[in-house]
Amino acid sequence: MTDAGRDGKPDAETPGTVEGRGSDVIARIHRAIRQRILSGDLPPGTHLAAAEIAGEFRVSRTPAREALLLLASQGFVDVIPNRGAYVRNWSREDIEEVFDLRALLEPHAAARAASRASAQDVAELEALASEMETASRSRSASDRDRLAVLNDRFHRRIASIAGGPRLERFINDTYELVLQAWTFGTFSDEDMARSMMHHRDLISAFRTGDAALAHAVMESHILNARRRYVDRPEAGIDFAED
Amino acid sequence: MTDAGRDGKPDAETPGTVEGRGSDVIARIHRAIRQRILSGDLPPGTHLAAAEIAGEFRVSRTPAREALLLLASQGFVDVIPNRGAYVRNWSREDIEEVFDLRALLEPHAAARAASRASAQDVAELEALASEMETASRSRSASDRDRLAVLNDRFHRRIASIAGGPRLERFINDTYELVLQAWTFGTFSDEDMARSMMHHRDLISAFRTGDAALAHAVMESHILNARRRYVDRPEAGIDFAED
DNA sequence: GAAAACATGATTGCATGCACTTTGCCCCTG
DNA sequence: CAGGGGCAAAGTGCATGCAATCATGTTTTC
């Protein structure tokens, strides 16, 4: 079972020094650095020195280095031999590719999920959709953040229900970026209503096991998001024009 | 342009990967172990001890460990904390998922490639297709191996021409498995002829920039392979029924 | 006799040390 | 003053050491 755990918030402030052996140091560093890259805290081109990271997380250079290697294998940083890791530049083409891949992968996942979703799965998705609708009626920053988290969980849950480990991994790898690009900040009321309706349509398709419908709804859902993004790219990541 | 030797990856920039020049010990170990896993030399469940690998490759445990971490991030092995890395079991469902993903990703890549292929690209693919046709007329083991290598290169080249780094990475990650499952060993003359014709049809679509045709041809190409595989799974990887 | 507890051996995970590469600055030369 | 060579600082990449953890076989206890 995949980590159905908490939201993507890294427990940045762990009071005291819980030098817990056995706590997965590599994974923690990996998540923290990835979060900083996605949030723009570490701008593209930044040199990530192993010693620096090690010092900050109070560990040695070995786990820091291994976390960097993992980030490299996922495409977040480029590792140049004997020179270290550099935060990768996300170009406009990168973002567009991500949307293309989402438009390819997620409808496929939705169709599979429609064929496999249990009543329990549908109930979970409905709970998420209800929460999102509640949050969507507010414009407070915290509710918008919560909406992004819930939306993330909703889509990941569908990928999980689809039941293919590689498909799920691809979607999750692809999805990271979207979280940053798509902050719900630019949604009009109409956009928001349509997005919420898409979720309900998806759930409906899941309940009746209608794979073709789920596929179509998800595709339109993604393509809408893509269009919204392409129309106003300045709202997302500031691109490095190099 | 260096001679494209046995290494299927020339100078193509594969972002995020750690394919460095020189004494890249990690990448070498990574490739070697992956090859053994795919070839069945290391059966599922095998415990990969860091010290053992280190000794065999005459390096220390650190790069061996890091190669294992990379393999884990790609799903080839499972790393259990404080217990080490174990070769992952490939179930029938895993293979079927791989074919599903290929049937999803590669037609997409083919369509993109059709819109972007240069005359140079088309010429390269034609050269590969010609070589494959020559090799396909023989039944010697070496020619069959060569055919697999050429086919691999053909499909990867298309993914490369498609021009999306993540798409290319997904396809390459997915493709590894197929190399083992699909050894051309079970091809009838008719299957072989059809496969070769698909390649020519693809090239034709690339030359005329017909994305829809390229998509359709690739999809039928993959689904044919999938069907052939599903019909006689015993010809490929021996599944671990756990 | 069976189950629990202990001791032992093996292995992982992290820390640290060291050689090699790269880079940037300074000095020297023309 | 411009260009080239060399030197030093920094940082990576790999080797090695050590404590914590887990598996296994033996002993102890009921």
Q: CB distance B101–A66 less than 8 Å?
A: no
Q: Of all nucleotides in the shown strands, which has a C1' nearest the CA of A23?
A: C13
- What is the pLDDT at residue B240? 46
CATH 1.10.10.10 segments of chain A: 25-87
**Nearest CA among A192, A190, A217 for reference residue A203:** A217
Q: Does A20 touch chain B (CB under 8 A)?
A: no
Q: Does A11 score more than 50 pLDDT? A: no
Using the CA of A79, give the nucleotide whose C1' is nearest: D12
C-alpha dihedral sign at A58, A59, A61, A67 = negative
B99: Cα within 13 Å, side-chain hemisphere: 20
pLDDT reported for residue A23: 59
| Model confidence pTM above 0.85 | no
> Which residue, among B92, B135, B137, has the nearest Cα to B235 in the 3D structure?
B92
Q: What is the DSSP letter of B82?
A: T
**Which residue is the nearest neighbor of D15, CA to C1'?**
B60
What percentage of chain A reaches a pLDDT higher than 90?
58
Q: Which residues in chain A are contacts of B165 at CB distance < 8 A?
A: 75, 94, 97
pLDDT in single tens digits along all 242 residues of chain B: 333 333 333 333 344 444 434 458 899 999 999 989 988 899 999 999 999 999 999 999 999 999 999 999 988 999 998 899 999 988 888 888 999 999 999 999 999 999 999 999 999 999 999 999 999 888 788 888 888 889 989 999 999 999 999 999 999 888 877 666 555 556 778 888 999 999 999 999 999 999 999 999 999 999 988 888 777 655 444 444 44
Q: Is B85 left (phi over 0), alpha (psi -120 to 50) or beta?
A: beta
CA torsion sign, A194 to A197 to A202 to A205? negative
What is the model's pLDDT at position B239? 47
Q: Residues A153-160: what's their mean pLDDT?
A: 95
Report the distance separating Cα A6 and Cα B7, nearest Å: 42
Chain A residues touching residue B166 (CB < 8 angstroms): 75, 97-98, 101, 173-174
A·B CB contacts under 8 A:
85
Mean pLDDT of chain A: 83
CATH number of A92-235: 1.20.120.530
pLDDT-derived band at A96, boundaries 50, 70, 90: confident
Q: Pick the most confident of A8-12, A221-225, B1-5.
A: A221-225
* Alpha-carbon radius of gyration of chain A: 19
More reliable by pLDDT, A231 or B213: B213
Angstroms from B75 CA to nearest CA on chain A: 8
pLDDT of A232 reads 62
Task: From the options 2.40.10.220, 3.30.70.890, 1.10.10.10, 3.40.30.10, give the CATH code of B25-87.
Answer: 1.10.10.10
3-class secondary structure for B104-160? HHHHHHHHHHHHHCCHHHHHHHHHHHHHHHHHHCCCCHHHHHHHHHHHHHHHHHHHH
Question: For the segment A35-78, what is each residue's pLDDT rounded down to a tens digit?
Answer: 999 888 999 999 999 999 999 999 999 999 999 999 999 889 99
Residue of A nearest to B79 (CA): A24
> Which residue stretches of chain B are H helix?
25-39, 50-56, 61-73, 92-116, 119-136, 141-162, 165-181, 189-208, 211-231
CATH 1.20.120.530 placement within chain A: 92-235
